Amino acid sequence: MVGEDKPFPTRAALAIGSLVTLVVLLAALPWLLSDYGLSFMVSVMSYLVLTVAWALFSGPTRLVSLATSAFFGVGMYTVAMLIKLMPLYATFAVALGVGALLAGVVGVLTLRIAGMFFVIFGFGLSEMIRQLMVWWEINKTHTMGRYVFVPFDATLIYEHLLGLAVIVFFVGWQLRRARLGLALMVIGEDETVARQVGVNVPFAKVAIFVVSAMFMTMTGALMAPRYGFINPNFAFNPLVSFQVVIMAFLGGLQRLWGPALGVIPLIILSELLQTEFPFWFSVLLGIVFMVIVYFLPRGVTGLIEDGWKALGRPLELQRGLTGPLVDAWGWMSRPIILPRGIAGAIEDVWVKIAPQTKGRR
Amino acid sequence: MAALLEAEGLSKAFGGLVAVNGVSLSVSPGEVLGLIGPNGSGKTTLLNLIAGTTRPDAGAIRMDGEDVTRLPNHLRVRRRINRTFQLVRMPANLSAIETVMAGVLYGAGERVPFKEAGYVAAGLLGELNLLLKADRRLDQLTYIEQKRVELARALATRPSVLLLDEWLSGLGASELDGGMSVVWSLAARGIAVVLVEHVMTAVRALCGRVMVMNAGAKIAEGPPEEVLRNAEVIRAYLGDEDA
Ligand SMILES: Nc1ncnc2c1ncn2[C@@H]1O[C@H](COP(=O)(O)OP(=O)(O)O)[C@@H](O)[C@H]1O
Ligand SMILES: [Mg+2]
């Protein structure tokens, strides 16, 4: 199109218009949904923020972080511990500070050493804080947990999480047109080149790790009033970390909005597994995780592409169940290939519908 | 003219292998210093030590009078030392202009606003005849274009010392002329260039001074015609091929 005048609703105006409409619609949901529907949406919204925040760090740096539950837990448990001492919003602020500080320290300590160590540390961090809090509560404060009774109902939690989601998307979107965002992309590709263009690589990694962790912490803090009674085992649930990784990979990591697409399918699957097979839930989730890691390194699009070819090939199962286990672990400690996921599948369809639109990369 | 970059007694060993052994070097603004020597003689390692890619075991590096020996790679870039790599390094999933923009945004001197960085990067690519390839990625560029993108990436950080590691090798006869005039223009605008090169026509034409390395040590230094006649140099080179 080489029209002299731009058509009145320009593409940008159209995009902003539809986004605003979407947010308004989402904001109206609590008044349209049943209690169950709202509780489902609270779940969706919290995982949405966690997953997009996870991708903010892991997408460009290509390091798998399992520290999500540590920051989520710190947010939740800080609010639980302080709620009797100060107003709710003040507890949020303190939680955010604690999360940022923890991320800064952890980042400085671990991000220089990539690979396996970083993965183990992220997982270990959450477990360590959980054990530490259990010990503290039993030996020092003699409580088994904390009561959080505040007038902050599901609707308010949902609206706050929606606001947080808008912010995390905005930050991610801005990052793609900012100095730090470009630096992170170079780092993800080749750290030597990043240094050679003048990027302070450790600093850039810690910076984005802190930003990402602050969103996770805030999500945990906002979720605290959702549950009347919170103990460390509940707040620092390692499954949260794994679920977030699965969601991001399922949705695809090459677009900002990709990870979001993995959230709803996995929440539905999780609810199903949890109600049908409560005892086996974590095992089944682990299997889902390994299936995705082992069979879907490129997300759902890759599955569709490969599935067709694979039909003609015999399955390779000689190495038994340990094979996927070993591979999954090894894979996590390598820089990841950004999966295209559901986002990729949608893009492919879009290109077929509108062949004139060119994908940027 | 006073030297801009001075390196003194640089040494680096990898295990038992001494790759660079007490080498000193200095370059002045606008000068092209040739660095030649057989493969494995330590030229790339010496550049790595100066650029900050590798830490020296001994020796000191001064840039513009300031001791930069302890500074990490990215801070030496901000002190206006940059380099190209012998094997081209360009982020595979970034376009040429994005790679160069990163250099513009993080380079030495005043901070360039993000919105202007694109224009500056485009200007640099234009100088190297790459404007039409600005949105190409590594695998969509020829080898020569990749080398030019790498030079643009280095220039983007506004260096006053530039270390070129066999940047002219692999060029055909016609491309060599273009490449040589690019190096010449860098020196003409006052950049101190260290040129590691096997192409002797280029060394003769461009360098005011040549340094020869063999087995990690500096074995000769002086004007090109003199040094290249030097018996030891001829032995170092021909020893490879004849023996
Ligand atoms: N990172 C490294 N680890 C071990 N040995 C190295 C390393 N880099 C270079 N070397 C060795 O140091 C010597 C000098 O190499 P190099 O500086 O690349 O030589 P040149 O650039 O002159 O061909 C070679 O023997 C090479 O094998
Ligand atoms: Mg070399």
Q: Would you say residue A225 lies in a domain?
A: yes
- Compute chain A's Rg from CA coordinates: 21
The per-residue pLDDT for A301 is 45
**What is the atom index within ligand 1 of the atom nearest the CA of B15?**
4
Nearest CA to ligand 1 atom 26: B40
Q: Would you say residue A266 lies in a domain?
A: no
A76 and A201 inside one domain: yes
A64 and A173 inside one domain: yes
SS3 A69: helix
> Nearest chain A Cα to B78, which residue?
A198
A32 and A179 inside one domain: yes
- Report strand pairing: B161-165 vs B81-83: parallel
The per-residue pLDDT for A274 is 82
Band of residue A329 on the pLDDT scale cut at 50, 70, 90: low
> Nearest chain A Cα to B105, which residue?
A179
Q: Would you say residue A296 lies in a domain?
A: no
Band of residue A111 on the pLDDT scale cut at 50, 70, 90: confident
Enumerate the H helices of chain A as residue ranges. 11-28, 35-61, 68-82, 88-110, 116-136, 154-175, 179-189, 191-196, 201-223, 232-235, 238-251, 258-261, 263-276, 281-295, 299-310, 322-332, 341-353
> Nearest chain B Cα to A200, which residue?
B74
Across-strand partners of B18? B13
DSSP H/E element including B59: strand B58-63
Of A96, A38, A83, A329, residue with least CA distance to A217: A96
Sign of CA dihedral A102, A108, A111, A117: negative
Domains and CATH numbers, chain B: 1-80+159-243 (3.40.50.300), 91-158 (no CATH)
Lowest mean pLDDT among A96-105, A155-164, A265-274: A265-274
From CA B174, how far away is CA B179, in angstroms rounded?
9
Residue range B157-170, pLDDT digits in tens:
999 999 999 999 88
Nearest CA to ligand 1 atom 18: B44
Which residue has better confidence, A277 or A170? Answer: A170
Residue range A293-304, pLDDT digits in tens:
665 555 554 454
pTM confidence score: 0.84
From CA A271, how far away is CA A306, in angstroms rounded?
29
- Structural domains counted in chain A: 2
Q: Would you say residue A275 lies in a domain?
A: no
> Mind giving me the DSSP string for A166-201?
HHHHHHHHHHTTSHHHHHHHHHHH-HHHHHHTT--H
SS (H, E, C) A224-282: HHHCCEECHHHHCCHHHHHHHHHHHHHHCCCCCCHHHHCHHHHHHHHHHHHHHCHHHHH
Find out whether B213 and B46 touch, Cβ atoms under 8 Å.
yes
Average pLDDT score over residue span A27-52:
95
Lowest mean pLDDT among A177-181, A319-323, B219-223: A319-323
Q: Would you say residue A267 lies in a domain?
A: no
Q: Of the residues A210, A237, A264, which one is the last residue of a structural domain?
A: A237
Residue range B139-155, pLDDT digits in tens:
899 999 999 999 999 99
Q: Whose structure tokens read 């049943």?
A: A34
The per-residue pLDDT for B173 is 84
In the predicted model, is pLDDT for residue A120 greater than 90? no
Residues of B in contact with A195 (CB under 8 A): 52-53, 72-74, 77
- Compute chain B's Rg from CA coordinates: 18
The per-residue pLDDT for B236 is 66
In the predicted model, is pLDDT for residue A321 greater than 80? no
Q: Would you say residue A342 lies in a domain?
A: yes
Measured between CB atoms, does B90 come within 8 Å of chain A?
yes
Ligand nearest to the CA of B85: 2
The per-residue pLDDT for A352 is 67
Enumerate the H helices of chain B as residue ranges. 43-51, 73-78, 96-106, 114-127, 143-156, 173-188, 200-206, 224-229, 231-242
Token couple for A323: 């094979």
From CA B79, how far away is CA B64, in angstroms rounded?
9
In the predicted model, is pLDDT for residue A290 greater than 80? no
Average pLDDT score over residue span A18-35:
94
CA A188 to chain B, closest CA, distance in angstroms equals 9
Q: Which of residues 181-210 of A touch B (CB under 8 A)?
A: 182-183, 185-186, 189-190, 192-201
Q: Would you say residue A199 lies in a domain?
A: yes
Query: Which among B82, B98, B108 has CB closest to A196?
Result: B82
**Enclosing domain of residue A82:** 14-237
Low-confidence ranges of chain B (pLDDT < 70): 1, 231-243
Token couple for A357: 């639109």
SS3 A60: helix
Phi (first) and psi of residue A302, to 5 degrees: -60, -40
A65 and A195 inside one domain: yes
The per-residue pLDDT for B243 is 34
Q: Of the residues A215, A237, A259, which one is the last residue of a structural domain?
A: A237
In the predicted model, is pLDDT for residue A11 greater than 70? yes
In the predicted model, is pLDDT for residue A7 greater than 70? no
Mutation target to probe the B interface, by most B beta carbons within 10 A, among A175, A191, A197 is A197
Q: Would you say residue A300 lies in a domain?
A: no
End-to-end Cα, chain B, rounded Å: 42
Query: Which among B78, B83, B94 has CB closest to A189?
Result: B94
Q: Of the residues A219, A237, A255, which one is the last residue of a structural domain?
A: A237
In the predicted model, is pLDDT for residue A168 greater than 90? yes
Which residue has better confidence, A35 or A279? Answer: A35
Which residue has better confidence, A67 or A9? Answer: A67
SS3 B189: coil
The per-residue pLDDT for A1 is 44
The per-residue pLDDT for A360 is 42
